């Protein structure tokens, strides 16, 4: 569906994106990486907001760098910083964007407000919406043209836990019918909805695989132990600490290590975030 072929974006002497290649099919793709990894730059190129320095991006075999209108007709985009017009209701906001996109079906607007659970707030001023409600309104405008590709950049930044959960469920449902690309540095945002993970580091793609494959590779690499504080302090320089939580007079420690680091350590079921961190530490050891 969407092919990214050796795409690079250079600013001065810095490669913000460096030789990325991906072949994406419908589903939810989690684009993961720390701030500065190149995620937003890649998303902007996919959304035709900026052109790659070199490489090709194909949608259905057609070059969208040469013909960006081909992508724009089939794209829904929710940027990280999504604002609303202060004097428009939610419905009026969608009516405005529908006019810009050439969408004339008034029923479509009501259907989208119901899809994102804002139908009861249709006549309420969008400026008074919570962060999560604004994000859901942003998804509604991104879906106005019934896109084949939906790109969402850092969608849960600033949302409370309940809104984050609701938003993740919405994106997961949307991914059953189209390609949804979710860029985030918060791994839990994509843990339960992504069908594929694309991991970026310093502008490069370092992994592209299923969450199940990431978790399977973490088996035997994540460990847990309940330690005295002095033992915990002594351990810090020898293993990679993933989590440390005080429990009474002791510390429950979760750590990454290629083998059992000491006799008391027990194997632990890794979360997706822990599995990715364990892999990163393993890569760093191999490169050293």
Convert the pLDDT of each residue in 152-162 to its tens digit. 987 777 677 88
Instruction: Give, for 269, the enclosing helix (H) or strand (E).
Output: none
* Judgement on whether residues 15 and 39 belong to the same structural domain of the protein: yes
Domain final residue, candidates 209, 240, 256: 209
Going from the C-alpha of 61 to that of each of 2, 113, 150, 190, 261, the distances in angstroms are 8, 33, 18, 28, 50
For position 87, which CATH number holds? Answer: 3.40.50.300
Per-residue pLDDT, averaged over 213-219, amounts to: 92
187 pLDDT above the threshold of 90 = no
Q: Do residue 74 and residue 182 come from a single domain?
A: yes
Give DSSP secondary structure letters for 254-265. EEE-SS--STT-
CB 176 within 8 A of CB 36: no
Instruction: Identify the helix (H) or strand (E) that includes residue 249.
Output: none
The reported pLDDT for the residue numbered 238 is: 86
Instruction: State the greatest distance between any 2 C-alpha atoms of the chain, in Å, as a whole number.
Output: 68
| Number of structural domains found in the chain | 2
Q: How many CA atoms lie within 13 A of 270 on its CB side?
A: 27
Residue 121 is given by DSSP the state: G
Does 249 lie in the same domain as 169? no
Quote the percentage of the chain above a pLDDT of 70: 99
Q: Tell me the β-bridge partners of 29.
A: 181, 196
- Name every residue whose Cβ is closer than 8 Å to that of residue 33 and which is 6 or more positions away in sequence: 39, 185, 199, 200, 201
Asked whether 64 and 48 are in contact (CB, 8 A), the reply is yes
Residue 234 clears pLDDT 80, i.e. is over it:
yes
For the stretch 27-82, pLDDT in tens is 999 999 888 889 989 999 999 999 999 999 999 999 999 999 999 999 999 887 77
Stretch 3-16: mean pLDDT: 95
Same domain, 236 and 163: no
3-state percent breakdown (helix, strand, coil) of the chain, nearest 5 = 35, 30, 35
Do residues 129 and 40 share a domain? yes
Residues 78-116: pLDDT tens digits? 887 777 888 899 999 999 999 988 888 889 999 999 988
Facing residues of 255 across strands?
223, 241
Confidence of residue 288 (pLDDT cuts 50, 70, 90): low
My answer on whether 81 and 97 are in the same domain is yes
CA angle 37–41–44, rounded 5-degree value: 150
Domain containing residue 23: 2-209
DSSP string, 163-200: HHHHHHHHHHHHTTTSEEEEEES-GGGTTTT-SEEEEE
Residues 121 and 223 in one domain: no
**Of 163, 180, 209, which one is at a domain's C-terminal end?**
209
How far is residue 261 CA from its own chain's centroid?
33
């Amino acid at each position: 569906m969407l092919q990214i072929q050796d795409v690079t974006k250079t600013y001065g002497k810095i490669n913000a994106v460096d030789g990325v290649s991906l072949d994406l099919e419908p589903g939810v793709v989690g684009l993961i990486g720390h701030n500065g990894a190149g995620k937003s730059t890649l998303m902007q190129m996919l959304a035709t907001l900026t052109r790659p320095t070199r490489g090709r991006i194909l949608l259905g075999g057609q070059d969208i760098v040469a013909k960006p209108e081909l992508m724009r007709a089939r794209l829904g985009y929710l940027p990280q910083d999504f604002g609303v017009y202060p004097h428009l209701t939610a419905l009026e906001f969608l009516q405005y964007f529908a006019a810009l996109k050439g969408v004339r079906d008034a029923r479509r607007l009501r259907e989208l407000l119901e899809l994102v659970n804002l139908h009861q707030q249709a006549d309420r001023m969008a400026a008074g919406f919570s962060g999560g409600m604004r994000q859901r309104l942003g998804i509604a405008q991104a879906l106005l043209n019934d896109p084949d590709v939906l790109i969402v950049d850092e969608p849960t930044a600033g949302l409370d836990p309940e809104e984050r959960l609701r938003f993740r469920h919405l994106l997961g449902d949307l991914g059953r019918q189209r390609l949804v690309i979710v860029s985030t540095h918060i791994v839990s945002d994509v843990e339960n909805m992504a069908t594929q993970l694309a991991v970026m580091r310093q502008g490069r793609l370092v992994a592209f695989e299923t969450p199940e494959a990431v978790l399977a590779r973490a088996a035997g690499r994540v460990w847990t132990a309940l330690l005295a504080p002095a033992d915990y302090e002594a351990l810090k320089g020898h293993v990679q600490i993933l989590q440390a939580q005080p429990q009474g007079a002791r510390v429950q420690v979760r750590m990454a290590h290629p083998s059992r680091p000491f006799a008391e350590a027990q194997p632990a079921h890794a979360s997706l975030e822990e599995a990715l961190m364990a892999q990163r530490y393993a890569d760093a050891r191999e490169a050293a």
